[in-house]
Amino acid sequence: MPFKDYVYKRPDVKALMPQFEAILTALDSAKDVSKITEVIDQFYALQDTLDTQSTLASIRHSIDTSDAFYDAEQAFFDATLPGLQAYNKRLADALLNSPFKAALKAHYGSLFFDKLSLDARTFDPVIVEDLQTENRLITAYGKLTASAEIAFDGKTLNLSQMAPYMQSKDRAERLAAQNAVSAFFEANESRFDELYDDLVKVRVKMANALGFESFTEMAYARLGRTDYNSADVARYRDQIYEEVTPLVAKLMEKKAVRLGIDDLKYYDLALNFLSGNPTPKGDRAWQVDKARAMYKDMHEETHAFFEMMLDEGLMDLDSQPKKEGGGYCTFLADQKKPFIFANFNGTSHDVDVLTHEAGHAFQMHMSRDLFAPTRFPTLESAEIHSMSMEFLAWPYMESFFKEDTAKYTYTHLAGALSFLPYGVAVDEFQHGIYENPALTPTERKALWRTIEKKYLPYKEYAGNDFYERGGFWFRQGHIFSVPFYYIDYTLAQVVAFQYWHKSQNDYQAALESYVTLCGLGGSESFTSLLKSAGLDNPFETGTVKKIAGPIQAFIDSVDDRSL
């Protein structure tokens, strides 16, 4: 069935509740492990059906945030889903206290029970109204950013459609485009501040109600982090600061030389070459056709996967008015199908986001038949699949970029390395916010600017008061919608660099390792998955330095001024 024909029907909560109750009652009365596992399967099958309708509504709402029907459906789920979490907590409590716990742990593995413990800790009916408020505020942020209508170049453009202008070879146009984007955020500054202030308050309130020392601790638990904590992350951030920030500063110096600019400013950073950034040599349909050929040649599993995505229309890639920004991949559980959402804009980011989200979708496809709670890993593990796929696609980039291929591989690798300091800056900022939740909006912006100067010392905002005051983070939706989900990208990037390095030496071995990793889904924790795949742990001192060396060698081997 093609995605466009998927039937959406708002779940009948009054009918669902007795079904959940019956399943939990059957669980309580089960007398042996086989009956318990049967009941658990029933619970997650019902959960899948609920999640499928919620996901379908969310996809269609993000494709057109002005659609009144799906706007109402999104509001329905924002209000309804928190209350239904009570059933997940009851399941967790029942299994954690089951007399058959040892046998069940042997059957499902200890990670399942570790996750149940986190589920039990992070929910109580007392916070249902607060969860509803959090959902409503997150949806409001998405709608606010999607509402951007920027008058530029004789057109009315959204935020995604402004990207090509911010990469213009004309420095004056780059500056004008950046100012036009920042003007949107500044014009709505009080609303962004209000939304985030309310989010911080409600999150701290929930953490207090559940007995956490801080929302930071609660956020880590909500993200399912079972094998590392904030102290581990802090030490990892130090590795990035010490090993990568100096390398990126040198990359910026090289960029300034390439561009012939003595005073590199923030509006110059998106441009890499005076001759222009690498761009795909065709439109969205052309790029998808190239991707089809790539995945056919890459591996029999990627071939079957991508043909299914095309045949069933499981991608929405064009940027449109009122469409939410960014890109994502999600999963429709009842159909066992992934869905890719993106905003193509004619830049190299089109290829990046296609391969990135296809990496996520491929993992979902490969682990679609696993036990529901282990289909998907925690987020830092999930990003390994997406970021590694970007690098595993390198042998095929000539078909997308043609004469710009060398430009692309250089900027892709250099850009991935340059991302790491920004990614850890976002994480350090969030730790600072929730360690000091009473900060005013002005103090929050000052905190961001201080951290930004630490990790990105080359980012000069001369003339842009809003960014100089620390307003850039408004553009980072993760800070609003999924607190503390950002360090995950940097951790995964360090691991993906390892796949890049392996693929340079033995592509087929790297690819087979990757396919196997995708098939493991979330059956193991982050660090355990790394061990299973023979990958170095980013938290271990020396890992970042170890991978930075080959990257630096590759970059130094390229005569970037000739590109």
Per-residue pLDDT band at 553 (split at 50, 70, 90):
very high
Q: Using alpha carbons only, what angle is made at residue 232 by residues 230 and 235, rounded to the nearest 5 degrees?
A: 110
Does a structural domain hold residue 470? no
Residue 213: predicted pLDDT = 95
Q: How many domains does the chain have?
A: 1
pTM: 0.94
Kindly state whether residue 534 falls inside one of the protein's structural domains. no
Q: What is the DSSP letter of 317?
A: E
In angstroms, the CA 426 to CA 488 distance is 11
Q: Residue 322's pLDDT band (boundaries 50, 70, 90)?
A: very high
Q: Hey, which residues does 344 pair with through a beta bridge?
A: 318
Q: Which of 87, 81, 79, 77 is nearest to 119 (CA)?
A: 87
Q: Is position 31 within any domain?
A: yes
Q: Decide the pairing of beta strands 315-318 and 150-152.
A: unpaired
Mean pLDDT for 125-149 is 96
Structural domain contains residue 121? yes
Is the residue at 80 inside a domain? yes
- Give residue 32's domain range: 3-128
Please report whether residue 479 resides in a domain.
no
Domain contains 410:
no
3-state secondary structure of 459: coil
Q: 394-442, pLDDT tens digit by residue?
A: 999 999 999 999 999 999 999 999 999 999 999 999 999 999 999 999 9
Strands 315-318, 337-344: pairing kind = parallel
Residue 366: its pLDDT value, please?
Answer: 98
Residue 257 lies in a domain: no
Residue 462 reports pLDDT greater than 90:
no
